[in-house]
Amino acid sequence: MTTHPNTPAGWYADPQGTPNLLRWWDGAQWTEHTHPGQPGQVPQQQAPVADPAKVQRQVQQQAGVAPVYAGGGTLFSEPVLVVNQKAKLIELTNEYSVFDQHGRTIGSVVQVGQSTLKKVARFVSSLDQFMTHKLEIRDAQGQPHLVLTRPAKFIKSRVLVTRPDGQPVGEIVQQNAIGKINFAIQVNGQQIGAIKAENWRAWNFAIVDHTDTEIARITKTWEGLAKTMFTTADNYVLQIHRQLPDPLLSLVVATALTVDTALKQDARGFG
């Protein structure tokens, strides 16, 4: 199939001619995302589409992150992750798209396991903090790699990180509720790092290892006055400064998605 910049984003027959294979055209280029099916059939879950220029502005101008080395194109091999929450007037299900520094889709985060009763409760009340939240971190093909569970909280948050098969990875535990918020990154009860808010509003965080050396940084990017006041969208950029071993790497990636669920879930507006 011949495409050009005016071709709308969507699933099309593989340009290489592979039978029964659809490939995602993001509006500017072919991506690595594929889906089995017949040409003309659109899968029910389409990959999120980003404006590459918008994502690059978010990274370079809003978050102040200079272009860095190209990663491996996955959630766990990219030095920069852009986490953008789907804008909703009323948030009943948390959804995020994850992009690399160039605006390519590399994953998503979807809240799972919510009953209809729980959604109704979220709609008519402000009881989010008293509810258990579970989210799946998925790759670009929709396969889950990590599961985040935040049990119901009263004052402090605690997030459990596991593999899809239930194997524990670690925990992210809030240490204080007043002043600059800090979280401990724990594995088997031992602290291997920390997440430190840089101001009392908990907008930006430094992530450090067990020696208190900064290994990554989370920066909230301004999504505009209208979105901040009237929708639930929160956007973040995670910059990882160097290659990290597991389970620290998995917990750092999980952290970029946990901050919103652990803290911002319970308060909108400018804080």
pLDDT (tens digit per residue) in 206-222: 999 999 999 999 998 86
Among the listed residues 210, 206, 269, 268, the one whose alpha carbon sits nearest the alpha carbon of residue 240: 206
71-117 pLDDT, tens per residue?
A: 899 999 999 999 987 654 344 456 888 999 988 999 998 888 755 55
* d(C-alpha 98, C-alpha 137), whole Å: 9
- Cα–Cα distance between 250 and 256 in angstroms, integer? 10
> What confidence score (pLDDT) does residue 42 get?
47
pLDDT score for 30: 73
With a cut of 70, list the residues of the chain below it in pLDDT. Answer: 1-12, 19-20, 23-29, 31-50, 86-94, 114-130, 202, 222-234, 262-271
When the pLDDT of each residue in the chain is averaged and rounded to a whole number, the result is 77
For the question of whether the overall pTM of this predicted structure is more than 0.85, the answer is no
Q: What letter would DSSP give residue 31?
A: E
pLDDT value for 34: 64
Q: What is the pLDDT of residue 124?
A: 41
Q: Which CA distances in Å does 268 have to 47, 101, 113, 227?
A: 28, 27, 24, 11
